[in-house]
Amino acid sequence: MSLLVMKFGGTSVGSPERIRAVAARVARAVADGHQCAVIVSAMGHTTDELVGLAAEIAEQPDRREMDALLATGEQIATALVAMALHETGVKAASFTGWQAGIQTEPVHGAARIEAIDASALVSSLHQNVVPVIAGFQGIAQGAVTTLGRGGSDTTAVAVAAALRADRCEIYTDVNGVYTADPRLVQNARKLMEISYEEMLELANLGSQVLHPRAVETAKRNGVALVVRSSFSNEEGTVIRDMATMERLRIVTGVACEKEVARVALLGMTVSHHHLADIFSALAQASVNVDVIVQSVVKTGETDVSFTVSEGDVARAVDICEEFATRLGCQEVKQETGLSKISIVGAGMISNPGVAAHMFQALAAAQADIKMVSTSEIKVSCIIAADSLDAAVQSVHDAFSLAE
């Protein structure tokens, strides 16, 4: 008998029929002799609808109340899945994040899980009652918190680690992790396995299929993680340690991120502290900065540009303009309508020429490269959003990822 944590995403619990199908799958696992703990997301587009509802009430909704509102979506799904399990004859009980003992840091909107007091879940399992736990939520100092969009994956992995489960299965609307988003690239190929390191890069670079903190938590705790479809019995993708991989591919996958903006500070007088000053101020205002490029134009003068999400660009420009006069900066410019395309692969470390090959593929798709950033196992390029679709396909083809 093994202990399975099974997580079902929004599409998988999107209607009464789908909830019944989830219950049937869990009931089969129970009949096969497994102990199961179930994590669910909110049904379908519930979370987006709740965000829309809040926007009709307030321009800048209070962050504590926003979390209280968004957490309700997952609670609806837990009760319905528990009821559906009862209909199959399986004993089950719903748990909110706080009933499940999920404690987070006291931050609203994207809190990290700090600890799980799993005693209530353990006692439920001992009584053969399947706990159906609300993903994406926790509690901190008596207030409801949420883990950031897509955060139910992280709840699942953290619960699997706390229960020392044998496996954490992420059931979603695709058959596994693909070489690119199958919605964007028709000939994307399902991967049988991928390393935690590569999956973490892909998730951080925009592959929505897993929440980055879920991969991070799985790697840290050695949780065996599988991504598979809730609509079929096809084998999914196993995420495993790099050391146990049969072969390291040069490029494993392509990821992309939309709604990227660039801010440029032009003609700044060079000083020891200008970068520290600007980026400290941006950090204090919680503006997440991604790619940064600095170039010395003439002796004593420098241009700095960096990317942020489109939602943060107005705040970032305001902050830069405050510094402009003091730093002798001649102009602050912004550009929206950008995207980031990235390739990830553990075998890149020992293979030169990968970036050049990607640049050729982008040139072939007529995508102008505006900025580049690299690490040991990834190369990212900022390009115009309207060239993204062609760029993703071209890069995918250039590295023969469909084969």
Taking CB within 5 to 8 Å according to partner kind, which of ligand ASP, ligand ADP, Mg ion, none is near residue 47? ligand ASP
Question: Considering only residues 112-171, where is the footprint of ligand ADP by CB under 6 A?
Answer: 150
Cα of 236 vs its chain's centroid, Å? 18
Contact in structure between 401 and 189 (CB atoms under 8 Å): yes
**Structure-token pair, residue 189:** 């190929």
From the CB of 133, what's the least distance to ligand ASP, in Å? 12
Write the DSSP assignment of 63-117 as a string of letters: HHHHHHHHHHHHHHHHHHHHHHHHHTT--EEEE-TTTTTEEE-S-SSSPPEEEE-
Pairing of strands 130-134, 35-40: parallel
The window from 6-14, 21-29, 64-72, 114-122 that contacts Mg ion (CB under 5 A) reads 6-14
150, 236, 253, 345: residue in contact with Mg ion (rule CB under 5 A): 150
Q: Where do we find the tokens 């109340």?
A: 65
CB contact at 8 A, 39 and 155: yes
Stretch that binds ligand ASP, among 97-105, 150-158, 177-185, 334-342 (CB under 6 A): 150-158
For ligand ADP, the closer CB: 193 or 303: 193
Instruction: Say which amino acid occupies 364.
Output: A
- Of 149 and 357, nearer to ligand ASP (C-beta) is 149
- How far is 80 from 124, CA to CA, in rounded Å? 18
Which of the stretches 4-12, 27-35, 88-96, 99-107 binds ligand ADP when contact is defined by CB under 6 A?
4-12
Residues 162 and 120: their CA atoms lie apart, in Å, by: 12
Supply φ then ψ for residue 257, to 5 degrees: -130, 135
Q: Quick check: 151 binds ligand ASP (CB under 6 A)? A: yes
Q: Which is nearer to ligand ASP, 147 or 251 (CB)?
A: 147
What is the chain's percent helix, strand, coil content, to nearest 5?
A: 40, 30, 35
Decide: is 135 part of the binding site for ligand ASP (CB under 6 A).
Answer: yes
Among 95, 136, 178, 196, binds ligand ASP (CB under 6 A): 136
CA Rg value for the chain? 23
Asked if 291 and 233 touch (Cβ cutoff 8 Å), the reply is: no
Residue 8 or 323: the one with the smaller Cβ distance to ligand ASP is 8
Q: How far is the CB of 342 from ligand ASP (least distance, A)?
A: 22
Instruction: Work out which of 253, 282, 319, 365 binds ligand ADP, going by CB under 6 A.
Output: 253
Member of 78, 207, 305, 307 binding ligand ADP (CB under 6 A): 207
Sole window of 8-16, 71-79, 110-118, 288-296 interacting with ligand ADP (rule: CB under 6 A): 8-16
Interstrand relation of 102-104 and 113-116 (parallel, antiparallel or unpaired): antiparallel
Note whether 253 binds ligand ASP by CB under 6 A.
Answer: no
Contact between residue 6 and residue 171 where contact means Cβ atoms under 8 Å apart: yes
CB of residue 170 to Mg ion, shortest distance in Å: 8
* 183 makes contact with ligand ADP (CB under 6 A): yes
| 140: region left, alpha or beta (phi > 0 left; psi from -120 to 50 alpha) | beta
Number of residues that bind Mg ion (CB under 5 A): 2
Which residues sit at the interface with ligand ADP, rule CB under 6 A?
9-12, 41, 150, 172-174, 177-178, 180-183, 207-209, 253
Which residues sit at the interface with Mg ion, rule CB under 5 A?
9, 150
Which residues sit at the interface with ligand ASP, rule CB under 6 A?
9-10, 41-42, 47, 73, 135-136, 149-152
